[in-house]
């Protein structure tokens, strides 16, 4: 702090906002965000299971909450986050083993995880509306 002049002249290591956003980079950030969202989402899972174990009236309250428009919206995002994190995770496992680092493979798997997660979310929700 005493030498703030010197400090100001030091080059800073580049931060995220310096780079032009690229699909692979955005998906890397999304992978972390969906992971953190799923972390908080476990509260929904615990609420569902614990209320089911508590009894009928408690469970029906949870069902009412999950069935409200805001509940459905949260569950829709939760479904997508879960599927996106799963598909992104499969991609990361392939990278761990050294596959798919080429420019074309990178772009293709990025688009595939995105389209796959949106597509699978739609499949799950269409099935949910059909069977309920």
List of residues contacting another protein (CB under 8 A): 32, 35-36, 38-39, 42-43, 45-46, 49-50, 52-53, 55-56, 59-60, 79, 82-83, 86, 89-90, 92-93, 96, 124, 127-128, 131-132
Q: Indicate the residue among 92 and 106 with the shorter CB distance to another protein.
A: 92
The least CB distance from residue 2 to another protein, in Å, is 21
The least CB distance from residue 29 to another protein, in Å, is 12
Q: Indicate the residue among 44 and 105 with the shorter CB distance to another protein.
A: 44
The least CB distance from residue 48 to another protein, in Å, is 9
The least CB distance from residue 103 to another protein, in Å, is 25
Please spell the DSSP secondary structure of the chain, one letter per residue: -TTHHHHHHSPPPP-GGGSPP-HHHHHHHHHHHHHHHHHHHHHHHHHHHHHHHH-HHHHHHHHHHHHSHHHHHHHHHHHHHHHHHHHHHHHHHHHHTT-S-SHHHHHHHHHHHHHHHHHHHHHHHHHHHHH-
């Amino acid at each position: 702090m005493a030498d703030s002049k010197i400090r100001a002249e030091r080059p800073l290591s580049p931060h995220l906002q310096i780079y032009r956003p690229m699909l692979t980079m955005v998906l890397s950030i999304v992978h972390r965000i969906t992971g953190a969202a799923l972390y908080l989402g476990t509260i929904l899972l615990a609420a569902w299971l614990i209320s089911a174990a508590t009894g009928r009236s408690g469970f029906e309250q949870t069902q009412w909450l999950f069935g409200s428009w805001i509940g459905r919206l949260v569950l829709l995002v939760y479904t997508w986050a879960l599927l996106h994190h799963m598909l992104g995770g499969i991609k990361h496992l392939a990278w761990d083993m050294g596959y798919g680092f080429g420019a074309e493979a990178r772009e293709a798997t990025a688009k595939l995880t995105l389209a796959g997660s949106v597509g699978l979310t739609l499949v799950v929700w269409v099935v949910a509306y059909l069977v309920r």
